[in-house]
Amino acid sequence: MSKKPTVGPALHKVIMVGSGGVGKSALTLQFMYDEFVEDYEPTKADSYRKKVVLDGEEVQIDILDTAGQEDYAAIRDNYFRSGEGFLCVFSITDDESFQATQEFREQILRVKNDESIPFLLVGNKCDLSDKRKVPLNECQTRAQQWQVPYVETSAKTRENVDKVFFDLMREIRSRKTEDSKATSGRAKDRCKKRRLKCTLL
Amino acid sequence: MLTTLANIKHILQKELFNGSGERVLSVVTVTKTFKKKKACYLCIVTTPPPVPVVTVCIVKQSEQREGEYKKKRTWQLEEIKWVDGRNEQFETHEFDIQVEKTYKWYALNLHERQNFLAVLYKQIQKYVRAQRAEFRNVPIAWLNDKSPEKLAAGRNAEQKNIQDTDDEEEAQEFTALTDKEATELGKLFSECDFAVKDAEQLIEKLSKELHDLDGANIQSVLASEKQVFALMEHIDKAIAEADSFEKRLDSYEEILGHVKETMEKIGGKNAMIEIANNNNIKLMKELNKVISQLDLPHIHQQALDEPDLKTVGGRKAAIAAAQSLQQAMNSDIDPTLLRLEAVQDQRKRFEKWKAKFSGIVSRFMNNLFIHLGNEMGDNTTMSTELVLPNHLSVHRELTPYTELMHWTKAMDRKTYDGLTRVYTTSLSKIYERDIRNFFSLAKLQISEKLRTSREDLDTSASSKKSAISAAPYGTLGVNREQWGPGVENADRERFDSVLEKVLAELEPVALQEQMFCINFFQMDVISPTSKNTQTTLEVLEKSTDSASLLTSPTSASGGGDASGFPQKKIDRQINEEVRKLMIALFGCLEPELVSFIQSFERIDSFYSLYVLVRLTQHVMSAQDTHSFLSMTFASALVQVKRNFDRFMQQQLLSIKEAKVPKRSKCGILPYVENFEYFAQTSEGIFRKSDRRTDMEKWYLQLVNSIFESISVHAQEHPKTPSQVVRMENYHHMYSLLAQLKVPGLDAMKKEAKMRYTDALKVYVIQYFGRPLEKLNLFFEGVQQKVAQGVKETEISYQMAFSKQELRKVISQYPAREVKKGLENLYKKVEKHLCEEENLLQVVWHAMQEEFIAQYNFLEERIQKCYAGAMITLEFNIQDILNFFSDIARSH
Ligand SMILES: Nc1nc2c(ncn2[C@@H]2O[C@H](COP(=O)(O)OP(=O)(O)OP(=O)(O)O)[C@@H](O)[C@H]2O)c(=O)[nH]1
Ligand SMILES: [Mg+2]
């Protein structure tokens, strides 16, 4: 206790992406501080860090909350690059935000150059189901197509908020252990393997 | 008019005066002058003969009922002082009558007035003997002559003229005849039927009859003379008889006078005898009282001489005897009777008994206390459980002697005080041992586990070590690596639960002992006297003093009678005495408790937070805040609070004195980093406590001090720019405060966020600087010209700002160079920023935006001022975005 271990707890870097106003900041703040803010204040870029216990192991999560509105998409390249996992958020009450996830996905894949990067498709504002614009099966179809999990959340009611962050961290973690195995061992064609695993999901 | 008069007179006679047998002589209808009131009637009335009384009265008609009249006022003729007709003219309506005051009348009818005044005058002349009323302004003719009224009346009543011989009044009215008179008259007239035709004959007949009657009358008078003589004789005899009777009465009275005198003398003697008798009875009673009160039955004497205190029966007898002695010695006897030799002899006897008995009790109790103390001291069963043994068995053992103690307190204060001392010394030894054992066991229970959980808790060695090199565990301003050894949260919680156990164990034991002592030593009763022995039998030298001592409690000195004091004061005095006793018994409790607490505070300052919360709970929940234990806890609490404040003060100081880290990146300052641990720990302790506010006050001070120190220390790092230090540390503070959610720190949270964004802005502007510096300068010049009035489209004709010049500057910024500049900037930022705070992406995002903004500005200027010249920068927005993407890819 008195001596700080030289190797700190594992650190997982998560990036929040998605159109403006879908609730990226709301999800982050709910996860971080258990609070929900009604007012909408567009984000530029905010960084958060929190210690959590993931399956009995103490880990740290870094969350980069990004702007939905960006004049030039290339500006995002840098932080996509730094991310280890992505929560791609849209609002189920806003079809355009759902369509925009396609672009985000493509840019991330291009920057990360990795088909199997830890990634969750998140349909937020599920508490507003009466204003739903994006049918559930469409969301599920897209997630299947991408071979990523789809989760609906509400930053307002906290439904599934912890789940999306923890699920993503788990993916990041298993991805890391695999990588370390890969670097120490042989398997170089991890992309194929990953793909295989994802289909099983 | 006459008829009216006659009518009124008739009506009044009939309605009002017939009832009383009075007769109306005259009536005048009047109103009071000046007053428009209903008319009333002024009447002259006479009572019937033989003693006619003439009065004047006012009669009013009832307002409610028409035919009803009422007499309002009546005056005797003598009351009338004067009558004023005002004027001798007949046509005068007014007239005044002076009675007790002047009445001013207005007669409605002049004839009535005249008649009334005339009749009144005549009646006064006739009946008033002394001062007769004076008549003014009334025609003399009315008063002397026959008034016209009269004459008229005379004419009207020819028939009655015959009777009207002597009395004028008779004639002037038609008298209502009584029934008898009417029949008589009827008879007379029927006999003299002829008279209607021949008055002469009638007169003759009447005169003759009158003659006859006179004659008869004289004859009867003469015949009665003899009888009168006889009557006179009788009267003489009766007078003589009365005289002799009177004489006899006088002699009786004389005799009675003697008797009365004697009776009075006898009565006086009787009273004296009664007083003497009463006094004797009283004396008897008093003596009886004295004797019965001062009598101590033989069995009691025996019980006092040789008491058996060991057995229940013996004890009972001894207590009864002792109490009876106490009662006798406090008999209610008049102070003067105390001087009786017999009483004083008895008192001396009592004193002897008392002294002897008290000595026996003292020895006995003394031995008992010591014995019990030793007995308890012998059975040293060291338990491994953390319990403080109670001594109910001792209490149980002593309870039967309670009354003897009370007796001793009243009758032999010195012995009582001595016994109390013996008790406390015997018992305090036991309690001291118990408490020491108890606390050392508590210490052991905490530290034993400390030892197993921590490798290096050789307290003395580690404290030495920490004294040299390490700061106390948890010091905010010092890097965590340099903290001395501390304890884990689990240890702290164990300490807290042991502390709770300790406090909970102390309470019942102390309370039981206190209750026992109050009862056993009768501490809730304040002795009414300061003397060693409570007795009323002593003859005091200064009798006034004794009287005041016994009768007026308020003036009593020292520990005098308590009833005169307010209850609060008494309570305080009792509390004070109980506490003194408890301190004697539990002398070691407070130092032991404090040392127990301190021994742990020395290891870890956070213990003082736990103690503060726990002890506060116990102090607050105590019902009797003045009890010994509450006071002890409270005083320990004061010390703990002092320690707590000192700990916080040290924290404050350590923040101010903190050193900037020597590493190449400043990163998070130690106190900012440590604040998380500190705040989480103290929140865990204070979250639900009453003491929260104490902590919140310190939070505010600490956070304020942290903010101040960040700004100061930001200037001190050799490599990291101050804005980066500020940005990262305020960002960290914001995040901590947002997670902590202490309501009192909400404003500080917002402040932290503001300071963080400010620092970010300043840093981006300062360090991003201007990678296209010369272009910027060029266009600043352009802007100046524009400001001087040069048209934007004509700028290119200015020498310094010709297209040629612009091209020259632009050529200094080929795409390659720009890219290199951006890459260098990214590297620099990377070097400044620390890994922990993860702000690189945030900063870089801001810088990218800033660069694009500058590029856009330049492009826009070129378009405006050099339109059509086909001049552009040597890189376009797409190039920039590619640079950004490349930089991203290369990391
Ligand atoms: N009812 C409901 N409202 C939500 C939910 N999530 C966010 N909102 C609201 O939606 C608005 C936008 O939320 P933000 O979290 O600021 O959106 P954002 O995605 O961060 O937007 P940018 O920062 O501009 O990219 C706010 O007014 C939120 O209160 C949700 O789950 N349910
Ligand atoms: Mg946002």
Q: Candidates 2.30.29.90, 1.10.10.10, 3.10.450.50, 3.30.450.80; correct CATH number of B2-173?
A: 2.30.29.90
Contact B838 A78 (CB under 8 A): no
Q: Write down the pLDDT at residue B304.
A: 80
B473 contacts on A by Cβ (under 8 Å): 2
Which residue in the set A33, A47, A74 is minimally distant from B841, CB to CB? Answer: A47
Beta carbons within 8 Å of B852's beta carbon, 6+ residues apart: A71, A72, A75, B877, B880
**Overall pTM > 0.80:** no
Collapse the DSSP code of B623 into the 3-class scheme (helix H, G, I; strand E, B; otherwise coil) and give the result: coil
Task: Find the closest chain B residue to A65 by CA distance.
Answer: B842
Is residue A184 included in any domain, yes or no? no
Q: Write down the pLDDT at residue B195.
A: 53
Q: Write down the pLDDT at residue A93.
A: 97
Strands B23-32 and A119-124: unpaired
Burial class (CB in 10 A: 0-12, 13-18, 19+), B46: middle
Is residue A28 included in any domain, yes or no? yes
Q: In the predicted model, is pLDDT for residue B322 greater than 80? A: yes
Task: Find the closest chain A residue to B853 by CA distance.
Answer: A71
Q: Write down the pLDDT at residue B191.
A: 65
Q: In the predicted model, is pLDDT for residue B175 greater than 60? A: no
Contact A2 B485 (CB under 8 A): yes
ipTM here:
0.88
Q: What is the pLDDT of residues B469-513, one digit of tens each?
A: 567 778 888 888 888 777 777 888 888 888 899 888 888 888 888
The alpha carbon of A24 and the centre of ligand 2 are apart by a number of angstroms equal to: 5
Where is mean pLDDT largest: B61-65, B194-198, B292-296?
B292-296
Strands B69-76 and A85-91: unpaired
Strands B134-136 and B82-84: parallel
Number of other CB atoms surrounding residue B527 within 10 Å: 17
Q: In the predicted model, is pLDDT for residue A107 greater than 90? A: yes
Binned at pLDDT 50, 70 and 90, residue A55 comes out as very high
- With an 8 Å Cβ cutoff, is B66 touching chain A? no
Q: Write down the pLDDT at residue B170.
A: 43
The alpha carbon of A91 and the centre of ligand 1 are apart by a number of angstroms equal to: 9
Q: Write down the pLDDT at residue B327.
A: 83
B805: distance to nearest CA of chain A, Å? 31
- Number of domains composing chain A: 1
Of A36-45, B162-171, B496-505, give the lowest mean pLDDT range.
B162-171
Q: Write down the pLDDT at residue B547.
A: 40
Q: What is the mean pLDDT of residues B15-27?
A: 85
Pair of tokens at residue B449? 């586990």
Contact B852 A74 (CB under 8 A): no
Is residue A119 included in any domain, yes or no? yes
Q: Write down the pLDDT at residue B146.
A: 56
Q: Which atom of ligand 1 is nearest to the CA of A128?
A: 1
Q: In the predicted model, is pLDDT for residue B424 greater than 80? A: yes
Q: Which of the residues A7, A15, A46, A47 would you substitute to probe the B interface, choosing the one with the greatest number of B C-beta atoms within 10 Å? A: A47
Q: What is the pLDDT of residues B831-842, one digit of tens each?
A: 999 988 889 999
CA angle B196, B200, B202 (to 5 degrees): 60
Q: What is the mean pLDDT of residues B214-218?
A: 78
Domain that holds residue A147: 8-172
Q: What is the mean pLDDT of residues B845-854?
A: 90
Q: What is the pLDDT of residues B398-421, one digit of tens each?
A: 999 998 888 888 888 888 999 999
- With an 8 Å Cβ cutoff, is B305 touching chain A? no
Q: In the predicted model, is pLDDT for residue B813 greater than 50? A: yes
Strands B23-32 and A150-152: unpaired
Q: Write down the pLDDT at residue B699.
A: 94
Domain residue spans in chain B? 2-173, 179-223, 338-459+496-590, 462-475+601-766, 772-890
Q: What is the pLDDT of residues B104-127, one digit of tens each?
A: 888 888 888 888 988 888 888 888
Task: Find the closest chain A residue to B454 by CA distance.
Answer: A1
- With an 8 Å Cβ cutoff, is B891 touching chain A? yes
Q: Write down the pLDDT at residue B725.
A: 95
The binding-site residues of ligand 1, defined as CB within 6 angstroms of any ligand atom, are A 18, 20-26, 37-38, 40, 42-43, 67-69, 124-125, 127-128, 154-156
Of A81-85, B153-157, B331-335, B604-608, give the lowest mean pLDDT range.
B153-157
Q: Write down the pLDDT at residue B224.
A: 78
A13: distance to nearest CA of chain B, Å? 10
**Domain containing A50 — which CATH number?**
3.40.50.300
Q: Which residue is closest in CA terms to ligand 1's atom 16? A: A40
Can you tell me which residue has the tokens 């001049």? B871
Q: In the predicted model, is pLDDT for residue B557 greater than 60? A: no
Which residue in the set A2, A75, A111 is minimally distant from B845, CB to CB? Answer: A75
- With an 8 Å Cβ cutoff, is B735 touching chain A? yes
Dihedral of alpha carbons B480, B486, B490, B496, sign: negative
Q: What is the mean pLDDT of residues B658-673?
A: 90
Dihedral of alpha carbons B453, B455, B461, B464, sign: negative
Q: Which residue is closest in CA terms to ligand 1's atom 1? A: A125
Beta-carbon contacts below 8 Å between A and B: 83
Which residue in the set B480, B846, B852 is minimally distant from A44, CB to CB? Answer: B846
Task: Find the closest chain B residue to A13 by CA distance.
Answer: B838
Strands A85-91 and A119-124: parallel
The alpha carbon of B737 and the centre of ligand 1 are apart by a number of angstroms equal to: 22
Q: In the predicted model, is pLDDT for residue B798 greater than 90? A: no
Q: Which of the residues A60, A76, A77 would you substitute to probe the B interface, choosing the one with the greatest number of B C-beta atoms within 10 Å? A: A77
Binned at pLDDT 50, 70 and 90, residue A4 comes out as very low
The alpha carbon of B741 and the centre of ligand 1 are apart by a number of angstroms equal to: 22
Cβ(B479)–Cβ(B660) under 8 Å? no
The pLDDT mean for chain B works out to 82
A45 contacts on B by Cβ (under 8 Å): 841-842, 845-846
Q: Write down the pLDDT at residue B382.
A: 62
CA gap B751, B149 in Å, rounded = 128
Which of B205, B170, B207 has its CA nearest to residue B48? B170
3-state SS of chain B: helix, strand, coil percent to 5?
70, 5, 25
- With an 8 Å Cβ cutoff, is B881 touching chain A? yes
Task: Examine residue B50 and say whether the peptide bond preceding it is cis (omega within 30 degrees of 0).
Answer: yes
Contact A64 B881 (CB under 8 A): no
Q: What is the pLDDT of residues B707-735, one digit of tens each?
A: 999 999 999 999 899 999 999 999 999 99
Which residue in the set B481, B838, B887 is minimally distant from A47, CB to CB? Answer: B838
Q: Write down the pLDDT at residue B732.
A: 96
Rg (CA), chain A: 17
Contact B889 A111 (CB under 8 A): yes
A62 contacts on B by Cβ (under 8 Å): 838
Contact B881 A79 (CB under 8 A): no
Return phi, psi of residue A46, to 5°. Answer: -135, 145
